[in-house]
């Protein structure tokens, strides 16, 4: 019985306690962070140990490998990839070349991940940054216009898919106006419905056909004055599923972020009751993970269908000119050095 949650682990190897927990609770997937990533063989072994433990060779393994400051796999074993802002600068200089660069960077990242057994990357970032906001998004964004962000985001997502890795669009319905970091506080975005629709929502509408999305822990009083999107039935049903038309697997952002309140079983229950398909807990704290698991049911119904449909998008990698992609990466990184 697979359960509707994704969890982290504490270290570079699974402990006996974690192995017993994963085997018994059957999380849908595992997410890796820098603390879990030392060198290629170690990560390959960690991924294999998780899948063997849960008894599913296709159990998803996720990571945040965006480039720039959010890159869990780093030198000396993996290349440095440019931030979203650097890809945006290339696009502004030459739109076609910028889109090809974005697609090729995603292809290269996907190759890195597939070699380790990692099948899901939490990108593209579709948040539209505004002036005078917190820099939690900042240079992670693919520019400042919704159209540009949507175009680059599409190229990044398609580059991953072409090389056999699933993308996760984030942070739906939009994190670009937050004046505080949701890792530490609950942001409240007071923009009107019209302003949200024109800017923040637009890239998510454009990419609503993609298979996976991650929520924002943000309150949007124009729709729900009390609850963050992750736990708001109104935002999920009216905005994400309704206005945006997203019918893929909807996962929460990390439940351990301080934007959310309550114990961890309650956080999980409220998110799923609001309409999320899957909850995500990242920090590897075993006590917290046990409480999350207590608040999570078996993956079933529409959530299970969306999960299966998402995994069905994984396909054999399509070919591309890796040498050209590497040359383009070297050029953009040299310019920014």
Dihedral through CA 84, CA 86, CA 91, CA 94, nearest 10?
A: -170
CA 71 to mean position of chain CA atoms: 12
User: How many angstroms separate the CA atoms of 143 and 126, rounded?
Assistant: 10
Check if 134 is active-site: no
Radius of gyration (Cα) for the chain, nearest Å?
Answer: 19
Decide if 209 is catalytic: no
Report yes or no: 173 and 196 within 8 Å, Cβ to Cβ. Answer: yes
Q: Which of 11, 94, 135, 183 is flagged as catalytic?
A: 183
- Residue whose C-alpha is closest to residue 155's, from 93, 225, 206, 214: 206
Across the beta sheet with 61-63, the strand order is 166-167, 120-121, 61-63, 27-32, 3-7, 278-281, 249-254, 212-215, 169-172
Candidate list 127, 253, 254, 277, residue with the active-site label: 253
Q: Which residues are catalytic?
A: 183, 253
């Amino acid at each position: 019985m697979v359960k509707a949650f994704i969890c982290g682990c504490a270290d570079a190897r699974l402990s006996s306690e974690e192995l017993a927990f994963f085997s018994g609770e059957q999380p849908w997937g595992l997410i890796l962070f820098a603390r879990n990533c030392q060198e290629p063989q170690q990560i390959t072994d960690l991924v294999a140990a998780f899948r063997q433990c849960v008894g599913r060779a296709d159990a998803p393994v996720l990571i945040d490998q965006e480039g720039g400051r959010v890159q869990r796999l780093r030198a000396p074993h993996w290349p440095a990839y440019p931030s979203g802002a650097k890809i945006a600068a290339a696009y502004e200089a030459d739109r076609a070349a910028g889109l090809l660069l974005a697609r090729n960077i995603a292809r290269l990242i996907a190759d890195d991940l597939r070699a380790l057994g990692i099948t899901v990357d939490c990108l593209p970032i579709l948040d539209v940054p505004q002036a005078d906001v917190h820099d939690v998004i900042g240079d992670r964004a693919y520019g400042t216009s919704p159209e540009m962000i949507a175009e680059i985001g599409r190229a990044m997502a398609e580059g991953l898919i072409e090389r056999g890795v699933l993308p996760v669009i984030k942070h739906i319905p939009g994190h670009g106006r937050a004046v505080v970091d949701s890792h530490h506080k609950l942001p409240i975005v007071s923009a009107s419905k019209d302003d949200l629709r024109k800017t923040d929502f637009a890239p998510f509408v454009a990419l609503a056909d993609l298979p996976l999305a991650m929520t924002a822990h943000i309150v949007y009083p124009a729709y729900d004055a009390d609850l963050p999107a992750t736990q708001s039935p109104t935002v999920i049903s009216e905005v994400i599923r309704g206005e945006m038309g997203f019918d893929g697997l909807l996962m929460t952002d990390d439940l351990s972020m301080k934007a959310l309140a309550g114990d961890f079983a309650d956080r999980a229950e409220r998110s799923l009751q609001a309409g999320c398909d899957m909850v995500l807990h990242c920090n590897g704290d075993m006590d917290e993970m046990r409480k999350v698991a207590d608040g999570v049911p078996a993956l079933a119904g529409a959530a299970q269908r969306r999960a299966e449909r998402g995994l069905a998008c994984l396909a054999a990698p399509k070919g591309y000119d890796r040498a050209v992609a590497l040359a383009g990466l070297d050029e953009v990184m040299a310019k920014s050095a």
